[in-house]
Amino acid sequence: MTWTVRDVAHALLRAQGLTTIFGNPGSNELPFLTGLPADFRYILGLHEAVVVAMADGYAQASGRPAFVNVHAASGTGNAMGALTNAAYSRTPLVLTAGQQVRTVIGLEAMLANVDAAALARPLAGFSAEPACAADVPRTLAQAIFEAQHGRRGPAYVSVPYDDWAAPAPEDADALLGRRVTSCRAPDATALDGLVARVRDADRIGLVLGSDLDGSVHPDILMGLAEFLGADVWAAPSLWRLPFPNRHRLFRGVLPAGIASIADALAGRDLVLVVGAPVFRYHQHEPGRYLPDGVEVIQITDDSSAAARAPFGDAIIADPAATLAGLAAALGVPDELADDPARWTPSTEPRRGTGAVLTPGEVFATLREALPADTAYVVESTSTNADWWAQVDLRHPRSYYFPASGGLGFGMPAAVGVALAERDRATQPGAARRVVAVIGDGSANYSLGALWSAAQLGLGVTFVILRNGTYGALRWFAGLLGAEDAPGMDVPGIDFVALAGGYGVCGVHAGSAEQLAELLAPAPDRPLLIEVDTSLTRPDGRPLQEDR
């Protein structure tokens, strides 16, 4: 049998466990998709931004790379916003895009991507178009390995569509058994130095990053924090939660400003930043990076993050292995004793009036009505303070947020997370609950994800917080002296009606009691719940105070 390039590509994807394809096909992609093996499944999204965000959620929740197929330059362009989130969360995505036939690319024929590899950079750590058909399988294999072990994150390959039917190289099957493994254990000297500095410190702080969620169990992190008596923060600009937010040592998510972080870390002599950059700032607050007397050691497997940090020392190694070595050297107990005093209760939420709930009331209802291990995908940036004041997240993979702040992530990512959780479930109907908490401004970026959820029959719940405005923008308008800027209100959107158009049951909850009743049964189909909420700022104060 003579294999084509397409045959080898399909066999390679199977060998690497990439038999789920997220896509929105165009004409250039059909030659790759024809003859798709029976054990593959194709997850259709109605827009490339939805496709990439679904794959992002699926890869994060499953802990495995995800494969994406988009349409030439236009499809890649549509995907770029979602790709920013995947780049900053370092999600291992392998994207392929169809290209025009080789003989007309230089003529700039319709659907030709003239400089395909450049289009996906710098968001894709690896981006290439093979120089010839014979090199397509090897380039695809490189993209798969680069996504997992190189810069880690999205990798991109543009393939002229006439390449797929070309004969494969004679020895192309040598790719199928290849494996690449990362083993970046901490250097013994570096680990000894870390242990010595921790032992010499009197007041230690831990800043834990999103990279740890799913790779280091919370019990290990809690044991280390309690042994050291260390205050614990989540790293700023958080997209996953590595540490239970109701633990008595948890001090919240670090604010994403230079001066605010310096104020928060004051009084510590050593701060370990683990699995996070130093630091991902947001709002500009000029000031000194650190107060006097505070030393920082960063532990990360992201060499780029270590290299660009403006202060502190760095150890480039696997954070899980480094923490295990540190804990063993310090004598941290292997098992965590049960201690009810470990947990702090949620605060009483501010109450709304009538049918308009406060975000805090909504989040308190979610906490009380849903299972403790519910996975939340959150895209409501103006309700951060209320969210962290109310939720109780103690399980890995319980929190997902757009890593670059790019809106449109939440709804399709929730579809991807729910698909991964259903794949993981050992029995039908036993999948973990997945709930998307989405602001009404954010929801409009990717409503098409509802259709994919309906077609897949996923029991994911979408809770839409409807306040008729871009709340975070109104807060920033006050900070920047731009209160008269236009375009900050989005009134009059009926999400219940929109859900029905996509084949999803939509209902309006007019009270906390109605919301709790709707949440109580585990749905076997997607459900959208629209809730009218009061205006708030990210710090939890009512937005009306600024008006």
The catalytic site residues sit at 26-27, 29, 48, 71, 282, 405
Report the distance separating Cα 486 and Cα 70, nearest Å.
34
DSSP conformational letter for 427: S
Enumerate residues 6+ apart whose C-beta is below 8 A from 240: 60, 89, 210, 211, 212, 213, 214, 397, 399, 400, 401
Could you give the CA distance from residue 378 to residue 369 in angstroms, rounded to a whole number?
17
Cα distances (angstroms) measured from residue 492 to each of 471, 489, 497, 532 = 16, 10, 12, 12
| Token representation of residue 25 | 């096909």
Q: In a 10 Å sphere around its CB, with 0-12 CB exposed, 13-18 middle and 19+ buried, how is residue 371 labelled?
A: exposed
CB 75 within 8 A of CB 35: no
Q: If DSSP codes are grouped into helix, strand and coil, which group holds residue 310?
A: coil
Cβ-proximal residues to 436 (8 Å cutoff; 6+ apart), any chain: 376, 377, 378, 379, 410, 411, 413, 414, 460, 461, 462, 463
> What length does the chain have?
547
3-state helix, strand, coil in the chain (%, to 5): 40, 20, 40
Q: How far apart are CA 367 and CA 227, in angstroms?
A: 29
